[in-house]
Chains A and B, each alone.
Chain A
Amino acid sequence: MKLNILNNFNTGLSKLKMRNIALFLAVIGPGIITASVDNDAGGITTYTLAGAHFGYGLLWTLIPITIALIVAQEMCARMGVVTGKGLADLIRENFGVKATILLILGLVLANFGNTMAEFAGVAASMEIFGVSKYISVPIAALLVWLLVVKGTYSVVEKIFLMASGFYITYAISGLLSGPNWGVVATNLVVPTINDSPEYLLLLVGMVGATIAPWMQFYIQSSIVDKGIKLSDYKFTRLDVIIGCLVTDIVVFFIILTCATTIFSNGIRVDTAKDAALALFPLAGNYAASLFAFGLFNASVFAASILPLSTAYCVCEGIGWDSGLDKSFKDAPHFYTLYTLLLVVGALLILVPNAPLLIIMWISQVMNGMLLPFVLIFMLVLINNKKLMGEYVNSRLFNIVAWSTSIVMILLTAMILLMEIF
């Protein structure tokens, strides 16, 4: 179904002038990278469990989730292009210090937990290949730090785009697992409702894993960094849409793989690592290794972007110098914050008996609590004529955006209530 859309899209693209393709290639990046990173360790765990526990039962959520993701990402991309400022910048300038500081505190807490979750993903995925976490986590943290601190923006972006490409391993895994395409197609469009609490938790979890507050900040900052022109905005919009589609196709394959193998064999798994291990006898070494590598790639990728996005956001909001093109002496707060998040996040994973679950749980709760505020701030900003001029939301877009936000907020509130009780 989705593949057909993409094929039509491709034939449409070949009719475009070569010049447009060149222009598109020049602005491509932020949308695809941000959407890919959305599938981080936590997200992949959620989708794996969705497939392993309910088979194709949750596939139908992908279409509404994709729409919600596109709406949220597009608004930030548009704000970035039109105002030339990051989201934290705009919030500080339009909502004052108090709101900004509260938001920043929440974001730092949430992202710190998320960063730890990524390193937990690195540890788990490398353990599948028999590498101890005491080796894999420090090396991954060091590599990430070196890449981001020593690399230039264009090099970093190219490597990130490559990492986005690696998600194809999930598609190959999915194809190798031999799904029943007829059933898959039906389940993709026909909602199946199951009233078990676990189903509900996974449904809400899937939505929550899709739109995280930090992504909104990240896409806007990276678009500003890239300095995309208003006249090229249509290509950025395409970048965002393609990114979201491709990302959710990856999600589709993750669910597919686990559903055709683990679910249909009635095996019970609780983590992404268990799922990958269960795949070895069921789908063959090849598919299982690809699946495990996908988790590793996603974790390292997100571990490099999360602390970076956080450091940008804090410095933008408070007014400290920030940016990878500055030296440590010029932007000490920025580098210190980035390094701390990365190092402490990685170290805690290595501490025996560290309360990992509690920290990750708190970060999930923080994510959920922040999201409504971020979405409402975004909607207020994007409808501000002084900032956006003629690029404010159209009425239709506002209806879609507000209803998306309200649904997201309600679902997140449900998660919070479930988490707490």
Chain B
Amino acid sequence: MKEPKNFTKTDTGNQWSEWYRELSVQGIENPRFFSQYENTKVFDNTGVLLGRLKDMAIRSGEAMLEVSSIVYATNILGEKVIMPMSNVGSFNGSINLNIAKEVIPPGKLSENEMLMTETILDKQIVDIDGLKVVRVNDVMLARVKGILSVIGVDVGFKGILRRLWAPSITEKLFAKLPNQIIPWSYIDPLDPELRKIHLNISRKNIQDLHPADIADILEELDNKERLLILGSLDDETAAEALGEIEPDVQDTVINNMESENVADLLENMNPDDAADILSRMPEERATEVLEKMDAEDASDVKELMEYSEKSAGGIMTNLFLSVPSGTKISDVFSIIRESCHDIDMIYYVYVLNGEEHLIGVLSIRDLLLAGSDQIIDDVMETEVLSVLPSSSTDEVANLLSKYDFLALPVVDENGVMLGIITFDDVMDYIIPGDVKKHLPKNYPKSRRMH
């Protein structure tokens, strides 16, 4: 993933000046803020005062958002007049039109024009880099190839100060306070319909983030925005991201979705996560969703829903790698290649007899070291440590940490294998959510991707 240069962290102001240099290379000079244009006087070509600038209309140009019209009002409650930029003569300190007051046509917004105050100013942007939602406090404008265009947005506190009173004085008084600018080229209007949320990263890149990071972003947003982002991901990424979200947020998201889409998502989730979500739903809805799910996935999930969430059965998954006893080692490899695409934990191979009883286990390491024509029963470990579905999560955690296992098998009273519990499922129970938030900053980056 290409890291966008982040101009929002202007601790020193250096990056800011770097971007500035870049702008002047492109022939962009003297950027100014919307707040500095706001309330400037508008005169007609004979110098008659018409009103003050209140807003600008924008439309997408070749590379940038171009300012296509200005909007001025004669007084606070006065009618707003929309004036195409073609009628605007000069733009220095005051705005002078090149037509006379008498011939001003009644302006209207065209199809592709939008008002700055309705689409950008004061709206939210999801800052994917900082994993938070920020607000646009001011808009940065400059002439690009002679056309006034939007080149960035200010999401810092200085933008608010500038909007509150005399922008030029604010600039002087708070010269030390950094501007927090996000260049417009990094901003992606996520939803042309709603016109209210933007991402400061292109959408195809959100797909490239780790699901756990997408989950962090989703937790920050409101419902409509969550659904938008989830909708823009492929099913698998969406499901993984949803699996990483705090349970109460999960429920909220799921509650607001059509059962059809919920079923699609749950099919792509680990059955144990899906079971947790379903067991928190009202019964009728859960049944409805299960009916819409793929039969095989649904039966996996149903099996797991019988167990209480705080027991071993509640956190186990029934996707594990098992082979029938008597299999040749070379055949085990082909079984893995054929059937393990959905299975996360393939470090252990569980050996089951005809009645599905767990009779042995071996690790991938043992498997690699074994001769290819040996029978699995000869190399497997027959003393298998397992837990019952009713065992407590604490007990499972203790066993996993004591023996340094990556997973533990779960068997019923008769020895029939039901599923496995992986160490990361137990982690979620041992490490409370707020500790996870305090992990070192670089932790997500250093995480092993599997």
Q: Which residues of A contact B (CB under 8 A)?
A: 19, 22-23, 26, 83-85, 92-93, 96-98, 101, 152-154, 224, 226-229, 232, 318-319, 321, 323, 325-327, 329-330
Do B164 and A19 touch across chains, with their CB atoms under 8 A apart?
no
> How far is it, in angstroms, between the C-alpha of A321 and the C-alpha of B124 when the chains are bound?
11
> How far is it, in angstroms, between the C-alpha of A343 and the C-alpha of B246 when the chains are bound?
30
Do B252 and A227 touch across chains, with their CB atoms under 8 A apart?
yes
Do A321 and B224 touch across chains, with their CB atoms under 8 A apart?
no
User: Chain B nearest CB: distance from A37 CB in Å?
Assistant: 21
Tell which of B132, B255, B433, B434 touches A227, judged by Cβ atoms closer than 8 Å. B255
Do B252 and A318 touch across chains, with their CB atoms under 8 A apart?
no
Q: With A227-B223, A318-B160 given, is the CB distance from A93 to B282 under 8 Å?
A: no
Which residue of chain B lies nearest to A22 when distances are taken between CB atoms in the complex? B282
B133 interface residue (CB < 8 Å to A): yes
Taken residue by residue from 347 to 388, chain B's Cβ proximity to chain A (1 for < 8 Å, 0 otherwise) reads as 000000000000000000000000000000000000000000
Given A96-B121, A319-B124, A321-B132; 18 other pairs, CB 8 A cutoff? A19-B284, A23-B282, A26-B282, A83-B224, A84-B225, A97-B122, A101-B164, A153-B248, A224-B222, A227-B251, A227-B252, A227-B253, A229-B256, A232-B255, A318-B157, A319-B155, A327-B434, A327-B438
Tell which of A83, A153, A319, A330 touches B134, judged by Cβ atoms closer than 8 Å. A319
Do A229 and B255 touch across chains, with their CB atoms under 8 A apart?
yes
Tell which of A85, A153, A330 touches B132, judged by Cβ atoms closer than 8 Å. A330
Which residue of chain A lies nearest to B132 when distances are taken between CB atoms in the complex? A321
Taken residue by residue from 251 to 289, chain B's Cβ proximity to chain A (1 for < 8 Å, 0 otherwise) reads as 111011000000000000000000000000011100000
> How far is it, in angstroms, between the C-alpha of A85 and the C-alpha of B434 when the chains are bound?
25
B137 interface residue (CB < 8 Å to A): yes
> How far is it, in angstroms, between the C-alpha of A224 and the C-alpha of B163 when the chains are bound?
28
B117 interface residue (CB < 8 Å to A): yes
Which residue of chain A lies nearest to B160 when distances are taken between CB atoms in the complex? A97
For the complex, count residues of B whose C-beta is within 8 A of A: 37
B244 interface residue (CB < 8 Å to A): no
Do B134 and A85 touch across chains, with their CB atoms under 8 A apart?
no
> How far is it, in angstroms, between the C-alpha of A92 and the C-alpha of B196 when the chains are bound?
13
Do B282 and A19 touch across chains, with their CB atoms under 8 A apart?
yes
What are 26 A-B contacts with C-beta separation under 8 Å?
Answer: A19-B284, A23-B282, A83-B224, A85-B222, A92-B122, A92-B135, A96-B121, A96-B122, A97-B122, A97-B164, A98-B163, A98-B164, A101-B160, A153-B248, A154-B248, A227-B223, A227-B251, A228-B255, A229-B256, A232-B255, A318-B157, A319-B137, A319-B155, A325-B433, A326-B437, A327-B434
B219 interface residue (CB < 8 Å to A): yes
Q: Which of A97, A101, A153, A224 has the most CB of B within 10 A?
A: A97
| A93 / chain B contacts, CB cutoff of 8 Å | 122-123, 196
> How far is it, in angstroms, between the C-alpha of A330 and the C-alpha of B437 when the chains are bound?
9
| B248 / chain A contacts, CB cutoff of 8 Å | 152-154
> How far is it, in angstroms, between the C-alpha of A84 and the C-alpha of B122 when the chains are bound?
16
> How far is it, in angstroms, between the C-alpha of A345 and the C-alpha of B51 when the chains are bound?
47
| A97 / chain B contacts, CB cutoff of 8 Å | 122, 137, 160, 163-164
Q: Which of B122, B248, B249, B434 has the most CB of A within 10 A?
A: B122
Tell which of A152, A319, A325, A327 touches B219, judged by Cβ atoms closer than 8 Å. A325
Nearest 9 pairs of A and B residues by beta carbon = A319-B135, A227-B252, A84-B222, A97-B163, A84-B223, A327-B437, A84-B224, A321-B132, A229-B255
Taken residue by residue from 406 to 438, chain B's Cβ proximity to chain A (1 for < 8 Å, 0 otherwise) reads as 000000000000000000000000000110011
| B284 / chain A contacts, CB cutoff of 8 Å | 19
| B155 / chain A contacts, CB cutoff of 8 Å | 319
Taken residue by residue from 22 to 47, chain B's Cβ proximity to chain A (1 for < 8 Å, 0 otherwise) reads as 00000000000000000000000000
User: Chain B nearest CB: distance from A16 CB in Å?
Assistant: 14
